Structure 1
Amino acid sequence: MSSIVIFLAVIASISGWWLSRQRLTAKPWLEEGDTSAFPGTDALALSPTTVGLGVFLAVVGSLFALLISAYSIRMGMEDWRALPLPRLLWFNTGALVLGSCALLWAQVSVRRQEMDGVKVSLLAGGFFTVIFLIGQIAAWRQLVVGGYFLSTNPANTFFYLITGLHGLHVLGGLAALGRTADKVWRGTDIRRIRLSVELCAVYWHFLLFIWLILLSLLTGWAGDFIAVCRGFLS
């Protein structure tokens, strides 16, 4: 439960910060003039797509928080047998880091209106992300060859469930990235694709953040942190 509480506290903090910028205590019926003249109204300019992505990331984050909590509880039972993690996971992590860096490059390039930089960075981001997915499948195959099947042990089940669910979200991100790249290669004005590129970058950073948390959990690094949190909340 500690991981859920911590995650919800983070979400609540971010939501409180965002709501504080919405001028909830303002009385618009008493104000006159252009809305741009009043401080804080720029926060209302968020596009529906941006808000939608924020809600989606909150839901996905909550889902993974529940899985992390279930994992930490289940691993304390007697029938838990931790499986050896393939070293390939470290290579896959590096590929995902490079993919996130490439999308950061795309984000910077689109703000500078450098179309060539946007094209190269989107291709690089897609390439490294595909490498990550291929590497994850290869890691699964290594475990299967070693006799670590889905139903052999609860630890195996959680590993395939967690990594598979993360992979599905990465695959969905690739679909969105493909649509954005298609707009770029069709010659769409760079100002019209800026939002799409920036949202893709945010999603990639989020996926990297989630994966690093999952990797620390699977490798056991998060065990001490969870114990400290439990002691703090008890």
Structure 2
Amino acid sequence: MTIGLVFLTGLMALIVGWLFRQTIDVQPWQAQPATPGPSSVRPAMRTGLWVFLGVASSLFVLFVSAYAMRLGLADWSPIPRPRLLALNTALLVGASVAMQWSVRALRRGDGGALRHGLAAGGALTVGFVAGQLAVWKQLADADYLVASSAAAAFFYLFTAVHGLHVLGGLVAWARAVARVRRPQDPAAAKLGVELCATYWHYLLAVWLVLYALIVSEDLGLAICSASPL
């Protein structure tokens, strides 16, 4: 279990370090415009996203810490592993790749590829959410509810909190798509796509940490057993 905690702590540290590097170029001591305009609002939006990701990372770290403490008690009993989790993970990986593809298409001025990339990213993300709900239904049908065991409770907690962050990302994705379709402000459309891609990469990184907690028996931290559901 100690090795597993060290591994996951290092992975979360990499995420936080990446967030820090994103903000290291911000120099608040430099003179700023007296009146805020588009050039000052847009960097503020980017910085706001990084601050939000930092807060979200702290929330997930707290949950993982609580899980690690609860795991050490003698009554810990893993739940069966839903097969759909692997497919859902692949869907989120595909969504992250599609969002990065959208950014590359935007930078080279390929409007068709941009729209296709955004559509694919949104569709794959909706598929991920639907898959997670299907996993919940599988567990509920098998009588693994929140109150069934500590392992089940943490499974629902982790997937629910992550799912809420994904749903929030879909709202931002819908706004980015609307801006791309009505390019009255190309700079705002570009910023929206780039921020969505950053957020999707973050969602994927956090999910990979949670997925390791859920299925990695080799780390000694698995919420689910090797027995499939």
Q: Which structure is richer in relative contact order (CA contacts within 8 A, separation 6 or more)?
A: 2
The CA distance in 1 between the partners of 2:106 and 2:186, in whole Å, is 7
Which residue is equivalent to 1:171? Answer: 167
Taking the TM superposition and a 5 Å limit, the aligned residue runs for 1:75-86 are: 75-86=71-82
Identity %: 38
Given the two structures, how large is their TM-score scaled by the length of structure 2? 0.80
Instruction: Tell me what 1:47 maps to.
Output: 43
Structure 2 alignment gaps of length 5 or more: 32-39, 222-229
Residues 7-56 of structure 1 show CA distances to partners (whole Å, capped at 9, x for unaligned) of: 4686368537844x4568x9x79xxxxxxxxxxxxxx9970001000000
Comparing 97-106 and 77-86, the one that deviates more: 77-86
Using the TM superposition, give the Cα deviation of residue 191 of structure 1 relative to its aligned residue in structure 2, in angstroms.
3.6
Which stretches of structure 1, 4 residues or longer, exceed 2 Å deviation after superposition?
1-19, 21-24, 186-192, 220-225
Comparing 106-115 and 204-213, the one that deviates more: 106-115
Give the aligned partner of residue 232 of structure 1. none
Which residue in the other structure is 1:125 paired with? Answer: 121
Taking structure 1 as the reference length, the TM-score comes to 0.79
Tell me what 1:95 maps to: 91
**Root-mean-square deviation (CA), in Å?**
2.9
Q: Which moved more, 1:84-93 or 1:111-120?
A: 111-120
Structure 1 residue 5, shift from structure 2 partner: 8.7
Q: Per-residue CA shift, 1:110-149, capped at 9, x if unaligned?
A: 1112111111111100000000000000001001111111
- Any gaps of 5 or more consecutive residues in structure 1? 30-43, 226-234
CA displacement 1:89-120 (0-9 Å, x = unmatched)? 00000100110010000110111121111111
Q: Which of 36, 43, 58 is 2:54 aligned to?
A: 58
Distance in 2 (CA, whole Å) between partners of 1:152 and 1:222 is: 24
2:7 is the counterpart of 1:11: no
Q: Tell me the CA shift for residue 6 of structure 1.
A: 7.5
Change (3 A) 1:222 1:105: farther
Question: Contact 2:103–2:197 (CA<8 Å) still a contact in 1?
Answer: yes
Q: Secondary structure at the match of 1:94?
A: helix
In the alignment, structure 1 residue 105 sits paired with structure 2 residue 101: yes
2:227 — aligned with what?
Answer: none
Larger-Rg structure: 1
Give the letter aligned to residue 55 of structure 1: V
Q: CA deviation at 1:79?
A: 1.8
In 2: Cα distance, 1:152 partner to 1:202 partner: 36
Given that residues 89 and 136 in structure 1 are in contact (C-alpha distance below 8 angstroms), is that contact kept between their aligned partners in structure 2? yes
Q: Provide the aligned length of Structure 1 versus Structure 2.
A: 208
Q: Is the 8 A contact 2:162 2:207 kept in 1?
A: yes
Residue 114 of structure 1: aligned partner: 110
* Greater shift in the superposed pair: 198-207 or 10-19: 10-19
Aligned partner of residue 106 in structure 1, secondary structure: helix
CA contact (8 A) 2:183 2:189 kept: no
Alignment partner, residue 193 of structure 1: 189
Give the aligned partner of residue 224 of structure 2: none
